[in-house]
Chain A
């Protein structure tokens, strides 16, 4: 009966959307570094830790306000306790283990053995409880029992909790962990030297009345101070034998120190690229309106230079590491990932539909561009993809791959020469408007609710006062371009003004129509 009840309850929890959503929410909040709001919880916890340490320090020589003491002892402890319980909860799923066991047993037509499930649950939970992090979390709660004077010192364990919240500590620990074997060997060597030298110095010096080394503790203290090359000088050997031991320990100490330094440095050097990559991926997850550029060749270099100049977010993916290095030198965010592989986008942890504005396939090779476009399309059907077309015979293939816009340089040159020959002035004027190195430029100004509230018609914009030509209005609702609109043309939210003028004046004009109270009838 009870067994059935537990199994049913587990199934209910497993299938409850609300329960799973809540659990996922707390998991994200506490454990998922990529969750947007986790950092706020981290900041709160760090603040609480510093408050309790500050209270501890103040308490040593000064009276502390009762409320503050209450807050530090009880409230913070309770918050940490809740955090501990939540972490224990989200660390593994009890209902999942029971459901899996039930399904396993029913599949094999056996009686459901809950005891086995409970053993698994116990093992999983105890593994979490005994992890270093969980132990530190638990110790941080202990100051709650502050009446036990000794337990107050556990407030300092709260400082260790900082490791949990500060990412750099974790990176440091991760880097050092790669040299675990070397560090253990070094520690063993140092321990043996300390042990042998402590015993030796004790034997040599303990019976000498003038020597400050009287106990084994003094001997160990002297050894550690000496091997670390700190050498306070408060405890020194006075016999010749003792000094001989000191010489050996000092020599060993230099070796240990040099070895430790080189270990740390080599660990960091080896992991540097990986750390940078992780950092780049972390940065990528925070970006919005990204231009994802696949391939960093001549046209891509020029396009990214222009986009970067206009402060757009750009990510470069290229399978060739030399090109990635070149892109990084140009100040771009670049990763040595193959843009034609779905795995690259998974590793990049980017949400294409939400974060990416456009994917640019700018390799100067149609085969590669088709492959990349199809990869992107398999991830997101609606994302805007622009590609270079290197040979007109491949046009249909690229269109079939779902590319929204094809840029074919040969055709561009052909069209340009046609205009250059037929309408040289039109060509020059329009080319100047498009060129970045010209003072006069064309700009698009989006009509917002704020603008509509102050300017209802084109005539009210007052563009002439700003020496700006309104070439036309693009009516978004009707997908129509109204060239040279008459003054009474109504402005609607979502429309775009196509303005031509000196860059400075266009900026001024834009500011003018965005500002609130400039409207005069």
Chain B
């Protein structure tokens, strides 16, 4: 049976951290390395790969559409090459790559990565946030990493939702106690802030998704009240 798998290319500290965290999301983890020395590693099962490989054998075992590839090779040029070769072979595979800086991040995006994490910029963003906005940083961190009951959720407006066909501006959100509606998400996953001029006059339709923050119970209550699904 084909598995939903996290394919991690490159064996380093980033790979191990990613492996550790994605396990929680019910992904089978496969580690790959193009370095012979990594093959001797006893603790982890590592498969060898070559940048010139084609990826036929991969397709046999994994569900490409549901799987995610992480390109975390130490060398930026190799990482770009790996990304481009994966994308050339698998159109629908989600590829997440790490880049040492912004310049490489744009190259990885061009190579077909769905999401690129520029390490230096991301680390710097976090440090500046800790320094400049310590409270909100803590709050966002706790929401994102679910350190307390406060959660961020996506709520889809369905056919029989009672706020369907209403203009966003007209909806009195205070009726729904305890939740804050942050943004409206389009089908292409891009989101628009709830107070943006585009969204204010948007009429909610079947298929629209609202991004809300609130305590778990309140979110469940909200879903019930508007008659939606997540």
Contacts and interface: CB of A to CB of B under 8 A. Distances in A.
B130 A407 contact: yes
B98 interface: yes
B185 interface: yes
Contact of B126 (A362, A412, A417, A433): A412
Interface of B: 6, 13-14, 16-18, 20-22, 24-25, 27, 68, 70, 72, 96, 98, 100-101, 115, 117, 119-133, 135-140, 143-145, 150, 152-154, 178-180, 182-183, 185, 189, 191, 193-196, 209, 211, 213-215
B96 A417 contact: yes
Contacts of A410: 13-14, 16-17
B21 A418 contact: yes
B170 to A, nearest CB: 13
Given A299-B123, A410-B17, A425-B154, A471 B213 contact: yes
Interface stretch (A190-198, A237-245, A302-310): A302-310
A48 B139 CA distance: 59
A429 B98 CA distance: 20
Nearest to B183: A429
B193 to A, nearest CB: 4
A501 interface: yes
Contact of B21 (A409, A417, A471): A417
A472 interface: yes
Interface in A417-435: 417-430, 432-435
Contacts of B27: 421
18 contacts: A298-B120, A303-B128, A386-B127, A409-B119, A413-B17, A413-B119, A414-B21, A417-B21, A417-B70, A419-B144, A420-B96, A422-B24, A426-B143, A430-B140, A434-B125, A471-B180, A484-B179, A496-B135
A427 B21 CA distance: 15
Given A298-B101, A414-B14, 4 more contacts: A420-B96, A425-B189, A426-B144, A483-B214
A405 B119 contact: no
A497 B192 CA distance: 23
A111 B186 CA distance: 97
Contacts, number: 177
B195 A413 contact: no
B189 A428 contact: yes
B195 A444 contact: no
Nearest to A387: B127
B144 A471 contact: no
B127 A430 contact: no
A183 interface: no
A427 B123 contact: no
A299 B127 contact: yes
A335 interface: no
B133 A411 contact: no
A391 B22 CA distance: 20
A469 B25 contact: no
B105 to A, nearest CB: 13
Q: Which of B13, B127, B153 has the most CB of A within 10 A?
A: B127
A426 B121 CA distance: 20
A383 to B, nearest CB: 13
A410 B194 CA distance: 33
A405 B14 CA distance: 20
B122 A421 contact: no
Nearest to A424: B189
Given A407-B127, A444-B135, A469-B195, A414 B20 contact: yes
Contacts of A74: none
A26 interface: no
A155 interface: no
A443 interface: yes
Contacts of B211: 425-426, 429
B194 A469 contact: yes
A435 B136 CA distance: 13
Contact of A472 (B17, B98, B139, B179): B139
A75 interface: no
Given A303-B124, A421-B25, A471-B139, A386 B195 contact: no
Nearest to A297: B120
Contacts of B16: 410
Contacts of A360: 127, 131
Contacts of A472: 139
Interface in A481-511: 481, 483-484, 496, 498, 500-502, 505
A416 B122 contact: yes
Given A421-B27, A496-B135, A409 B127 contact: no
Contacts of A291: 131
A157 interface: no
Contacts of B98: 413
A425 B209 contact: yes
Given A303-B127, A469-B194, A481 B21 contact: no
